[in-house]
Amino acid sequence: MIKEKQLSYERAGISVHALKMIAITAMFLDHISYLLIPSDTPMNWGVHFIGRIAAPVMCYLIAEGHHHTSNKKRYLGRLLLFALISHAPYVIYFDLPFFGATSIIWSLSMGLVALMGASSKRLPLWVKIGWVLFCCLLAYNANWNYLGVLWIVWFGLTRHNFRLQMTGYTLIGLILYVGQGLIRVGPHVTYRFGFLLPIVLFYFHNGKLGTKTKLSKWSFYIFYPLHLIVLYLLKIWVFNGFI
């Protein structure tokens, strides 16, 4: 009976593929809100609140990928390739300086590099700390910057202790994301508390891959730059009169 219940739970839980689809959906809603929903409105606040699901889930999946992949260098190579591909669509859609910002995929890449160093059994502790801090510095101008790096490292190093994993995740988010935002920007960024929503998803993650096809494997990589290009074209079409 116990084994049957465990198997039933695993089937009913949230797979990697499901987490990926949830992150993609939350990200798309968040990004399209910049185009369709006026700022400083309750609807805009609500969409951004839900949109905070995306980045933490992506960081969590990078840490899980680091644990499960058989070729970490190839995994990193894919991330770096799509960080490069996504750079122009990201800065153009959000109207950012071309060399002054870049997408979250660069932060995810640096998070993976940091985790590779931090989890090494050959490096002394002081080198690991320096390695992680250097990766944080490299990610400074990227979306979710050093926060994404720290989350990935923490998720990866504590993946066998859920309570410790979520405690560290929450503290990092409250101090470096919510707290910093409230101090620097003001109370209207309380939507940042939405970063707590993924904890429920992480709790029900069953450790399974779910749907496993080439499309599911590459879905996020392809979707990220593609949706930014589509949104930018929609932005031109709607607001510049290309009808």
- Residue with more model confidence, 178 or 212: 178
* Each residue's pLDDT tens digit, 179-206: 999 999 998 899 999 999 999 999 999 9
- Residue 208: what pLDDT? 85
Contacts of 115 (CB under 8 A, 6+ apart): 62, 63, 66, 152, 153, 156, 157
Asked if residue 209 has pLDDT above 90, the reply is no
Asked if residue 82 has pLDDT above 60, the reply is yes
Q: Which two tokens stand for residue 26?
A: 């939350």
* Each residue's pLDDT tens digit, 12-70: 689 999 999 999 999 999 999 998 898 889 999 999 999 999 999 999 999 999 999 98
- Residue 12: what pLDDT? 63
Asked if residue 241 has pLDDT above 80, the reply is no
Q: Which two tokens stand for residue 8?
A: 């039933």
Span of 3-7, 62-66, 127-131, 158-162 with lowest mean pLDDT? 3-7
**pLDDT, mean of residues 72-91:** 97
pLDDT above 90 covers what percent of the chain?
A: 79
* Each residue's pLDDT tens digit, 106-148: 999 999 999 999 999 999 999 999 999 999 999 999 999 999 9
User: For residues 114 and 112, what is the distance between their CA atoms, to the nearest angstrom?
Assistant: 5
- Residue 39: what pLDDT? 87
- Residue 238: what pLDDT? 74
CB neighbours of residue 224 within 10 Å: 23
Asked if residue 163 has pLDDT above 90, the reply is yes
User: For residues 184 and 187, what is the distance between their CA atoms, to the nearest angstrom?
Assistant: 10
User: For residues 136 and 158, what is the distance between their CA atoms, to the nearest angstrom?
Assistant: 19
Q: In 69-140, where does DSSP find H-type helix?
A: 72-93, 104-118, 125-138
* Each residue's pLDDT tens digit, 165-179: 999 999 999 999 999
Cα→Cα distances 179→25, 99, 167, 203, Å? 26, 27, 16, 24
- Residue 2: what pLDDT? 36
